[in-house]
Amino acid sequence: MSWMAWTTPTALFFVIIAGLLIAFTILAVRFPETPRRGVLGIETTRGDRLFITLLGSAFINLAWLGMMGAALQPWALLICLIYAAAVFRWV
Amino acid sequence: MDKTVNHKAWFLVLPVLVLVAFSAVIPLMTVVNYAFQDTFGNNVFFWNGLGWFEDLLHSERMWNALGRQLAFSAIIIAIEIPLGIFVALNMPKRGVWASLVLVLMSLPLLIPWNVVGTIWQIFGRVDIGLLGYTLDAVGIDYNYTQNPIHAWVTVIVMDVWHWTSLVALLAYAGLQSIPDAYYQAAKIDQASRWKVFRYIELPKMAGVLMIAVLLRFMDSFMIYTEPFVVTGGGPGNATTFLSIDLVKMALGQFDLGPAAAFSLMYFLVILLISWVFYTVMTNLDKRGG
C-alpha cells in the first residue's frame, strides 16, 4: 500500500466520506422516502442532497483557499456546515 | 403492480464495484493522497498540506489553460450543434441514399484521434499539405505552427470535421422518431418550414440534443491527442488546453503533487458540469420532452 502514499488526514477524509455513504445507505433502506422538489426546482432525494452538499463543499473550500489562504482554512468548514444545513432544508 | 423489493440483489452488483474500485476509485484515492504531498521519487513523500492547491489557485498558467479550454469547448459546441442539426435536417429520410449517407457520416467517427491529428497536421502544412499549400498559393499567409489564430482555427475545424457527424447522427435519430401525423397536422394548419422546425422537430430533438451537447462538452473538455499531434500545444502556449498542460506537468516535469492537485480540480469541474447536464436531462425526461 506504500505506493498509495497514505497519510492520516487523507485517510480520515476517506473514512468520513465512506461513513457518510454507509450512513445514508442505511437511512435509505430503513426510512425510504419519496423525492421532493426544492428551491432548485429539481426532484432530490437525501442521497442527491448529500452529493450536492459534498460537491458544493469542495468548491467552497477551494474558493476560500484562493481568497483567504491556507491558514484560515478551518473556517471554510463552518461555511460548509451552514451550506449543508441549507441544502438539506431547502433543496 | 408493486415493485419487488429484494436487497440481496445488490450483491449481484459486487463484480462491477470491484472492477470500478480497481480502475477508478483506488487510482483516484492515490491522486488525492499525492495532491497533499511532495515527492522526489523512490516512493518517499513529504507532507505539503494545501500548498499545491494554493499555488495552483494563484497560478496564471492554470487559469489561462482553463480559459482556453472553456473557450474551445464553447466554440466547438456553438458550431457543431447547429451544423449537426442542419445536416440532419437535410439527410435523406429513407431509401438507398439514406444508408449511404449514414455510412459516410459515420466515417470520421471511426478514425482514431491520433490519426485525425496526423491527417490535419499534414493537411495544413504549407510545404506538402493540400490545405496549407492551396491557401498559400491563393495568397493567404497561413501557418498554424507560427500564428496562434491559425493554430486555433485549424484545431477547431479539425474538431468540427471529426465530431459534427456525431451530432448529426443523434439529431437524425431524433428526427426519425417523429411520427408522420405531426407533419400532416402541420400541413393542414399550413405551418411554415420554420414553425415545423420550431414547434415539432426541435422539441422532439431536445432530449438527444442534450445528450449531444453533454457528449461533445465532455469530450472537448478532456481533448488531448488531436491538438497535441497537430500543434503540440503551441505556438507558445496558444493551444495548451487543460489536459495538455496537465500531462506536461505530470509527465514532462514529473511534478506529481501539483499535477495531482490540478487533476482533482479538473475532476471537480467535470463532476459539476456533468451533474448539471444529467439533472437537466432527467428533468426533461420527466416532463416528457
Domains and CATH numbers, chain B: 64-286 (1.10.3720.10)
Average pLDDT over residues B62-91: 94
Average pLDDT over residues A44-73: 92
Q: What is the percent of chain B with per-residue pLDDT over 70, rounded to a whole number?
A: 98
**CB-based contact A51 B279, cutoff 8 Å:** no
Tell me the sheet residues that pair with A44: A36
**CB-based contact A5 B32, cutoff 8 Å:** no
Nearest CA in chain A to B283: A42
At A43, the amino acid letter reads E
> Taking CB atoms and an 8 Å cut-off, how many pairs form between chains A and B?
58
The pLDDT tens digits for B189-219 are 998 999 999 999 998 888 889 889 988 998 8
Predicted local distance difference test score (pLDDT) of residue B289: 47
Nearest CA in chain B to A59: B268
The pLDDT tens digits for B104-131 are 999 999 999 999 999 999 999 988 999 9
Average pLDDT over residues A53-61: 96
Q: Average the pLDDT over each of A14-28, B5-19, B83-97 and give the range with the smallest value.
A: B5-19
Predicted local distance difference test score (pLDDT) of residue A13: 94
B76 or A3, which is more confident: B76
First to last CA, chain A: 40
Average pLDDT over residues A51-55: 96
Mutate to test the interface with A, among B3, B30, B265 (most CBs of A within 10 A): B30
Distance between CA B125 and CA B142 in Å, rounded?
9
Neighbour-count burial of A33, counting CB atoms closer than 10 A to its CB (0-12 exposed, 13-18 middle, 19+ buried): exposed
Rounded to the nearest 5 percent, the helix, strand and coil shares of chain B are: 75, 0, 25
Residue A18 at interface with chain B, using a CB cutoff of 8 Å: no
Predicted local distance difference test score (pLDDT) of residue B73: 95
pLDDT band at B288 (very low <50, low <70, confident <90, very high): low
Of A5, A14, A70, the CB nearest to B45: A5
Of A7, A29, A42, the CB nearest to B283: A42
Biggest CA-to-CA distance, chain A: 46
Contacts of A91 in chain B (CB under 8 A): none
Distance between CA B124 and CA B127 in Å, rounded?
9
Q: Average the pLDDT over each of A20-24, A42-46, B1-5, B257-261 and give the range with the smallest value.
A: B1-5
**CB-based contact B33 A10, cutoff 8 Å:** yes
Average pLDDT over residues B14-26: 92
Predicted local distance difference test score (pLDDT) of residue B287: 66
The pLDDT tens digits for B256-270 are 999 999 999 999 998
Distance between CA B141 and CA B149 in Å, rounded?
12
**CB-based contact B54 A69, cutoff 8 Å:** yes
Is residue B285 predicted with pLDDT exceeding 80? no
Is residue A38 predicted with pLDDT exceeding 80? yes
Is residue B284 predicted with pLDDT exceeding 80? no
Q: What is the mean pLDDT of chain B?
A: 90
Contacts of A7 in chain B (CB under 8 A): 33, 36-37, 45, 47
Predicted local distance difference test score (pLDDT) of residue B281: 80
**CB-based contact A4 B33, cutoff 8 Å:** yes
Average pLDDT over residues B246-261: 91
Of A42, A58, A65, the CB nearest to B50: A65
Q: What is the percent of chain A with per-residue pLDDT over 70, rounded to a whole number?
A: 100
Nearest CA in chain A to B26: A4
Query: CA nearest A40: which of A28, A24, A51?
Result: A51
